[in-house]
Structure 1
Amino acid sequence: MSDFEIKHKQASKLSEHTAYKITQILKFLLNIFYGKKYAKRAVILETIAAVPGMVAGMFNHLKALRRMKDDEGWIRELLDEAENERMHLMIFLDIAKPSWVERTLVLIGQGAFIFVYGLIYLLSSKIAHRVVGYFEEEACKSYTEYLNKIDDGEVDNVAAPQIAIEYYQLPSDAKLRDVILKIRNDEANHRDRNHSFADAYETNNLPQHLY
């Protein structure tokens, strides 16, 4: 994981400032509920993160059908992103073991975000992808803090859940830190890809079905 780095795309356009402000609002709301409770915070984080890829994949799928043009791989990549984030959620549900009250809050938050993100995507796909790019930047920061807490002994480096061992093909004696490293790397990839998707709208370097 030596190639990982914290990145931030400096907002310079109105659309980027709008996307960054939306991300900061989401971050503020997340901090209100869970603050430094990293495992439970990750449950909420991944619940939200699993939505954009599925919503964007659905809209692009319908647009490709409507225009009868090839999607050039965007749909599959977006759906793979959604599946990857769903697996992150499954892993942290095993780690955090939220109560039924917390699970209810997760469902409410997920439902609200599906509506909000779907509306954003309809109004501006560029802003929607930029939101995800900024959101994943915050995820990378959050997981880096999580790793630091493990390294400092403030969070127990417990055994990795079996679901994480199987998904990432980790050794049987893998620890929580090994899992967080893998997840952070996933988030960094989603960060870079969604920023590149947003950039593609600005440069008109889009698949045929999006024109």
Structure 2
Amino acid sequence: MSSRMAGSTLLRHLGPRLFFSAAAGEPACSLLLSGSASLAPARSPAAVLVRLFPVRMTSTTAAKAFGGEQEGEAKPSAASREPTAVPPSERKAVASYWGIQPSKIIKEDGTPWRWSCFMPWETYKADTSIDLKKHHVPATLLDKLAYWMVKALRVPTDIFFQRRYGCRAMMLETVAAVPGMVGGMLLHLRSLRRFEQSGGWIRSLLEEAENERMHLMTFMEVAQPRWYERALVIAVQGVFFNAYFLGYLVSPRFAHRVTGYLEEEAIHSYTEFLRDLEAGEIDNVPAPAIAIDYWRLPADATLKDVVMVVRADEAHHRDVNHFASDIHYRGMELKDIPAPLGYH
């Protein structure tokens, strides 16, 4: 009996608030369900929710999310809604509710850092004195399979792109950035499962993937892809990612050897690119600004300088992946040997 009395008392106090609007005496549920533009601002869903749940709605920004306004909040004037004369970077900045402010990076010369895909501390000078003729001679059956698989993949690439090396480089980098990401991801998950360290190989492989992605960002400025080339990239990347993922699960040694041979083919392609640049068959245009900042090239650098540093990067990736495959070939795991971090 006491519980029934308590329920009736609670309904008597909360009934008017839950089912009726104080302004017009209309059911609150009808205000929530109505979407008519003729309703006054006081009858908006946000206003009803504020009345139903005053503490919750006034202590967060949920009322603004519904499109309503806090009680006593003044509407901005037409003049204040007009965009002010501020730089584009400032207009894009959003004051975070969580206290996170966007980074504002200044270069050494005092000018704003214009890139958001990489930061000044990620730049470097590539070591172009790398030996470009090094080659891993396939000896085992697994190595021969990796070698001839890469050679077979080169045939349709040569047929499709022929001597359009800018577009070829763009396609190559969309594929070359996959192995490092897949290897780093799987090593990361393995480290979590087994509660073990990685010897720095997670970071090394992710650095490789990021470097290859920056190659792509650079050649996007040189060769604008056409619509069918973009479609081809989507198809090739989808097939290659899944195939490489399964291959790495089955045999990391095989996967790293495939990547090593892919990098050898990349070195060959960029060498042919340089040969045509030096022969004048391709215009040696000024280097893109993103390449000048990323590789710390001189201000008057050209496309030839960019191709040289990219080729050097591919040679370093070749060495790292063949080295990783050799570690597995000796029956060890990557965590047993320190990773060559910063190997540029």
Task: Report the TM range for the smaller structure's normalisation.
Answer: over 0.9
Q: CA deviation at 1:206?
A: 2.3
Deviation at 1:202, TM superposition (A): 0.9
CA RMSD of aligned residues (A): 1.4
Please tell me whether residue 131 in structure 1 is matched to residue 258 in structure 2.
Answer: yes
Hey, what does 1:83 align to over in structure 2?
210
User: Once the 2 structures are TM-superposed, how far is the Cα of residue 120 of structure 1 from its aligned partner?
Assistant: 0.9
The yes-or-no answer on 1:204 pairing with 2:292 is no
The gaps in structure 2 that reach 5 residues or longer are 1-127, 338-344
Aligned to 1:28: 155
Output the CA distance in 2 between the equivalents of 1:128 and 1:7. Answer: 19
CA deviations over 1:140-170 (Å, ceiling 9, x no partner): 1111111111111111110101111111111
Q: 1:28-61 CA distances to partner (integer Å, 9 max, x unpaired)?
A: 1211210211100101111110100000111111
Deviations 1:163-182 (A, max 9, x none): 11111111111100000010
1:101-145 CA distance string (max 9 Å, x none): 211211111111101111111111100000000010010111111
Counterpart among 275, 286, 304 of residue 148 in structure 1: 275
Q: In structure 1, which of residues 149, 161, 176 is the aligned counterpart of residue 303 of structure 2?
A: 176
Q: Which has the higher contact order (CA 8 A, sep 6+)?
A: 1
Given residue 64 of structure 1, which amino acid in structure 2 is its aligned partner?
A: S
Contact 2:324/2:334 (<8 A) preserved: no
TM-score (norm 2): 0.59
Percent of pairs with identical residues: 50
For these two proteins, the number of residue pairs brought into alignment is 210
CA contact (8 A) 1:6 1:140 kept: no
Cα distance change on mapping 1:2 and 1:70 into 2, 3 Å: closer
Equivalent-residue separation in structure 1 for 2:131 and 2:173 (angstroms): 20
Amino acid across the alignment from 1:194: N
The residue aligned with 2:237 is 110
Question: Between Structure 1 and Structure 2, which shows a larger proportion of helix residues?
Answer: 1
Q: Quick one: distance in 1 between partners of 2:313 and 2:293? A: 16
Change over 3 Å in CA distance of 1:208–1:173 after alignment to 2? closer
TM-score by length of 1: 0.95
CA distance in 1, matches of 2:276, 2:306: 14
Q: Is the 8 A contact 2:328 2:334 kept in 1?
A: no
1:63, 1:17 → 2: CA distance? 28
Which residue of the partner structure matches residue 173 of structure 2? 46
- Tell me what 1:160 maps to: 287
Whole-angstrom CA distance in 1 between matches of 2:271 and 2:223 = 18
Query: Letter of the aligned partner of 2:231 in structure 1?
Result: T
Shift of the 169–24 alpha-carbon distance from structure 1 to 2, 3 Å rule, reads same
- For the residues of structure 2 that align with 1:165 and 1:72, how far apart are their CA atoms? 32
2:130, 2:315 within 8 Å by CA — same for their partners in 1?
Answer: no
Contact 1:70 1:209 in 2 (8 A): no
Structure 1 residues 53 and 2: alpha-carbon distance in aligned structure 2, compared to 1, 3 A threshold: closer
- For residue 69 of structure 1, give the secondary structure of its aligned residue in structure 2: coil
Aligned AA (2:243): V
Return 5+ residue gaps in structure 1 as ranges: none
1:184-207, Cα deviation, whole Å (9 max, x unpaired): 000000001100000000113424
SS at match of 1:93: helix
Alignment check: 8 A CA contact 1:70 1:207 kept: no
CA contact (8 A) 1:56 1:121 kept: yes
Moved more, 95-104 or 43-52: 95-104
Q: Give the match for residue 195 of structure 1.
A: 322
**8 A Cα contact 1:54 1:79, kept in partner:** yes
3-state DSSP class of the match of 1:75? helix
